[in-house]
Amino acid sequence: MALALILVAAYLIGSIPSALWIGKLFYNKDIRQEGSGNLGTTNTFRVLGKPAGIVVLLMDILKGTAAVLLVHLSYFADVSIHPLLLGMIAVIGHMYPIFAGFRGGKAVATSAGVVLGYAPILFISLAIIFVVLLKLFKMVSLSSILIAIIAFLYSIVAYFYTGDWVFTLMIAVLATFIIYRHRENIQRIKNGTESKVNF
């Protein structure tokens, strides 16, 4: 019973549609009807502005972190499950949220939150690299794809030192989610029509 509850809890946490709720509660807007229509941080910044974008970014990151940390709750103390599996389930919830008609975000922020909950130093390192990539290319989508690949390559190298094959596998899965969810962006990058951000 506890195993089923923790799995459901991870999915429901991931399913919290931060961008949708912030948009409706404070701006009277459904961002699914504006911009790219995506329930993610980038579209929130574009449609609702910087304050809302920052809040949504933090909320989406913390969804992944909260799911990973569920194993530390006393109720789930006897449940034998790898925290990264819970993180992956939360990311699935973020991409296909039950609270938003199964139309969610592109997995980047919540995946970052999973890494934050499991390997905080890695999260900080990847965040710095992401900012550098964004400065260089001025494309959130390309930076997200590249950081997913970098994280996967790191996880392969880390395996030979730690033997943590679950970490390598879960990072591979999360990277695959991110790349798959950006398939339309990849096409626009190839065509030279992808949106860029200004600093």
In this prediction, residue 199 carries a pLDDT of 57
Domain annotation covers residue 199: no
Q: Tokens 């993180």 — which residue?
A: 87
Domain that holds residue 115: 2-191
Number of separate domains in the chain: 1
Query: What dihedral do alpha carbons 138, 139, 145, 148 form, nearest 10°?
Result: 50
- Contact by Cβ (8 Å): 9, 79: no
Average of per-residue pLDDT values in the chain: 95
Domain annotation covers residue 156: yes
Domain annotation covers residue 147: yes
Whether 62 has a pLDDT exceeding 70, the answer reads yes
Digit-coded pLDDT (tens) for 122-167 = 999 999 999 999 999 999 999 999 999 999 999 999 999 999 999 9
Domain annotation covers residue 56: yes
In this prediction, residue 36 carries a pLDDT of 84
Q: Model-level pTM?
A: 0.95
Label residue 198 by pLDDT band (50, 70, 90): confident
Tell me the residue ranges of DSSP E strands in the chain: none
Domain annotation covers residue 196: no
Give percent of the chain above pLDDT 70. 99
Label residue 95 by pLDDT band (50, 70, 90): very high
Pairwise CA distance, residues 99 & 77, whole Å: 28
Domain annotation covers residue 72: yes
Domain annotation covers residue 198: no
